[in-house]
Chain A
């Protein structure tokens, strides 16, 4: 069975600084997808960034980038130039690519606070 581990329950960063959230996963699958979702106080689940396991290039979305290390089964999220609006819970999630079974398996989340 797949598992996702986020070892940092809480983190904080100063506005405009850079922060990295860690995520590791365990799977025997070779083809899968990884995601970071953001959940602000409104509790809406918002996709931040995604990575296909077959792609060696790390995904980037504006200030958000990932460091995907397939052999190490590591998928960290880097937030550059942190903004107050980045304050949220961040969840790492795994999905195996297997027909119609596309459930997301979630980590416990990291609560990120951005300080002014």
Chain B
């Protein structure tokens, strides 16, 4: 069964450093998403991406964040200068297009620790 994959599973970085979180969505999916979950808190929407552009972003998704689909298979989230409060689990999700296109399939997540 096709699945969404994410790398790395765990990333430790120092405050102020840039990180890139990588995701490979399901191959025939056209909608892509990033969510984050701070430990013990609710899951928060960050950004959605369709047709090679951002379709919606949350207030969290400020200038420090960017997304890219560099090669038609990967979908990346970059945080330019990490802060302690960026420590969280980051989930990538994808969904297909068509009549039954609303179901989002999630990757296993990347745990980001900023020290």
Residues of A within 8 A of B (CB): 33, 35, 37, 42-47, 50, 91, 93, 95, 97, 100-109
List 17 A–B pairs whose Cβ atoms lie within 8 Å, in order of A's numbering. A33-B102, A43-B89, A43-B108, A45-B91, A45-B93, A45-B106, A45-B109, A47-B106, A91-B42, A100-B31, A102-B31, A104-B45, A105-B45, A106-B42, A106-B44, A107-B42, A108-B41
**Distance to closest chain A CB from B113 (angstroms):** 14
How many angstroms from the CA of A47 to the CA of B91 in the assembled complex?
14
Among B19-27, B48-56, B62-70, B75-83, the stretch that binds chain A is B48-56
Which residues between 30 and 47 of chain B lie within 8 Å of chain A, taking CB atoms?
31, 33, 35, 41-45
Q: Is B104 an interface residue (CB 8 A)?
A: yes
Residues of B within 8 A of A108 (CB): 41-42
Q: Which of A44, A100, A103, A107 contacts B109, CB < 8 Å? A: A44
Q: What separation, in Å, do the CA atoms of A54 and B85 have in the docked complex?
A: 39
* SS class, residues of chain B in contact with chain A: strand
Chain A residues with CB under 8 A of B43: 45, 91, 93, 104, 106
A47 touches B103 (CB 8 A): yes
Which residues of chain A have C-beta atoms less than 8 A from B89's C-beta? 43
Query: Contact at B56–A103, with CB atoms within 8 Å?
Result: yes
A102 and B109 contact, Cβ closer than 8 Å, known pairs A47-B103, A109-B42:
no
Residue of B with least CB distance to A42: B108
CA of A43 to CA of B91 in the docked complex: distance in angstroms? 10
Interface residue from B48, B95, B104 paired with A101 (Cβ < 8 Å): B48
CA distance A97 to B105 in the complex (A): 17
